[in-house]
Structure 1
Amino acid sequence: MNVLIVFAHPEPQSFSGALKNTAVATLQEAGHNVEVSDLYEMGWQAVLGHGDFCGDRADAAYLDLSREQEHAFASGTFDEVVKAEQRKVTNADLILFHFPVWWFSMPAILKGWVDRVFARGFAYSTGKKYSSGHFKGKKAMLCITTGTAATLYEPNGIDGDLHHVLWPIHNGILAYTGFTVLPPYASWMPARLSEEERISYLKGYARRLQDIDHLEPLFFHPWEDYDETQRLKPGVVAKSGVQWNPRANQRKYEAAIQYTPEAK
């Protein structure tokens, strides 16, 4: 399997960096091909704009980003750094996104990677989204770290259900473009843990990756559950992600860990 890891943390020695290193070692040991896009190390330019389009433009007088992206993809005139990342995505069977949760979302540099790389024409187009998306057949998973405890991300927690917090990424980016979305791996408050506790999280992540082919993906309603207005049909019960509990889902990978993150 070809795996792309998109890593978005400014400090290589961070716990996010340790998780990334664990992923590389675990996956390579299992015989997978692994490629890493370290966005800070690359000096990734996060802002989508005029510079993304080289050569002839669809309309040089007015920047319509969707139109220009579609034109650049069809004509092969994207900036070379964008084309390089798109080639990585094309080759990947699985993409792992490693990042700290900042302001209930991903760091700006990673959002900018999505803005520029998941371009119209390449990642989505008219009639090609969700279950018919361009990336159908590929898998994606988030590996996140947080600054607060797991209890805050429960349905009755002050920060809100983790599934709802990650919905714009899981549904709006990954499912939208056709990925099969795997449950995220969350490390809660690693900066406040002991070395032993952090090692336990790394071992849990390694076990998760060793089991990657057998993970049950998150549920998203298929097209046939929606009517012509793209709303759920009468009688269809909304259940995207409802049956997924982030703490229960992760417990099997922490089964050998004496430390219990949610008890902190």
Structure 2
Amino acid sequence: MAQKAVLIVFAHQSAASFNAALRDAAVQELTDQGCRVTVSDLYAMKFRSSATQDDIIGELKNPDLFQYGEETMHAWMEGRLSDDITAEQRKVEEAQLIIFQFPLYWFSVPAILKGWFDRVLTQGFAFTLQNMYSGGAFKDKKAVLSFTTGAAETMFQPDGINGDINVTLWPLQHGILHFCGFQVLAPQIFWSPAHCPAAARLQMLEGWRARLRGLLTETPLASAPCELFDLSFQGGFTLRPAVKEQQETRPFGISTGHHLGKPLPPNNQTKAPSEDSTDSRK
């Protein structure tokens, strides 16, 4: 069996952090399984978070009106992206699984990781309007968010002060990862480790190690397949009429984002369908 390649994109500044311990646990467990593990330590690499004209080598296609997406797409096609972007894209191409390890900042990722998404997942390389979501460029790859929070789990419940964590995760898991085709695995969330006793943090680490032993074979989160939509500008990339009609009698929306004005399907962004029998597509 061919050796599996795993990329860990790590975004924390401190080697003594709990995030670093989680990274190290993943490296050890996956290496023990025979995987080839690569770590992109973004702070150690001093990875630039700003998507700018400096990402393009050579002349611009339209110097009068700089459009980052268009220019980087052409630069990718012509081999003119900056070396740091090209190196990360090569790692993505080789990986069957990508783990993003980070602390949750302002309901999202640290700026340096957002910059990785902005700069590495260029148009053409990671997506096109013809190849996105379930038909995306990375449909044969898996990705998982592993992150720590400052807030307690109760604060991210549907009745908690921060709101439903499923809603928080939708832009990251659906809007970035699944948009590029990734099979998105259920997130690994470490609730408020800074406010937990040492024994609780050790238990979290052991839980992560246990999950890592089967991570490569996990079922992805449920998503709305592209065939449910009219994928044309004339149709507006909206649900097909027959699909809307079928959904009228369902108790929940299709997904967290495709709620159709109904209650959100429970745990849509936190548990795979096999773990939750409320998959509204069934």
TM over 0.5, yes or no?
yes
How far the C-alpha of 1:146 sits from its partner, in A, is 0.3
How far the C-alpha of 1:109 sits from its partner, in A, is 0.6
How far the C-alpha of 1:10 sits from its partner, in A, is 1.2
Structure 2 residue runs of 5 or longer lacking an equivalent are 257-264, 276-282
User: What's 1:22 paired with?
Assistant: 25
User: What's 1:261 paired with?
Assistant: none
How far the C-alpha of 1:37 sits from its partner, in A, is 0.3
User: What's 2:96 paired with?
Assistant: 93
Q: Given the alignment, which residue of 174, 186, 211 partners 1:183?
A: 186
User: What's 1:59 paired with?
Assistant: 62
* Partner Cα distance (1:248, 1:174) in 2: 16
Give yes or no for contact 2:221–2:268 (8 Å, CA) kept in 1.
Answer: no
State which drifts further: 167-176 or 216-225.
216-225
Q: Given the alignment, which residue of 237, 241, 252 partners 1:230?
A: 237
Q: Given the alignment, which residue of 241, 244, 247 partners 2:267?
A: 244
How high is the TM-score relative to the length of structure 1? 0.90
Give yes or no for contact 1:218–1:244 (8 Å, CA) kept in 2.
Answer: no
How high is the TM-score relative to the length of structure 2? 0.84
User: What's 1:258 paired with?
Assistant: none
* Partner Cα distance (1:35, 1:213) in 2: 16
Q: Secondary structure at the residue paired with 2:244?
A: coil
Corresponding letter in the other structure for 2:178: A
Alignment of 1:46 onto 2:49: yes
* Partner Cα distance (1:135, 1:111) in 2: 19
User: What's 1:207 paired with?
Assistant: 210
User: What's 1:121 paired with?
Assistant: 124
Q: Given the alignment, which residue of 67, 70, 82 partners 1:79?
A: 82
User: What's 2:16 paired with?
Assistant: 13
Given the superposition, is the C-alpha separation of residues 113 and 247 from structure 1 closer, same or farther in structure 2, using an over 3 Å criterion?
A: closer
Structure 1's consecutive aligned runs of 4 or more residues displaced over 6 angstroms after TM superposition are 245-249
Give yes or no for contact 1:57–1:71 (8 Å, CA) kept in 2.
Answer: no
* Partner Cα distance (1:41, 1:89) in 2: 19
Larger RCO, structure (CA 8 Å, separation 6 or more): 1
How far the C-alpha of 1:131 sits from its partner, in A, is 1.1
Q: Secondary structure at the residue paired with 1:244?
A: coil
State which drifts further: 240-249 or 71-80.
240-249
Alignment of 1:149 onto 2:152: yes
* Partner Cα distance (2:211, 2:255) in 1: 22
Root-mean-square deviation (CA), in Å?
1.7
User: What's 1:259 paired with?
Assistant: none
Give yes or no for contact 1:142–1:185 (8 Å, CA) kept in 2.
Answer: yes
Q: Secondary structure at the residue paired with 1:176?
A: helix
Residue deviations 1:153-189 (CA, integer Å, cap 9, x gap): 1122111111110110000000100000000001111
* Partner Cα distance (1:139, 1:36) in 2: 16
Residue deviations 1:61-100 (CA, integer Å, cap 9, x gap): 3311121011101100000011000000010100000011
Quick one: percent identity of the two aligned structures? 41
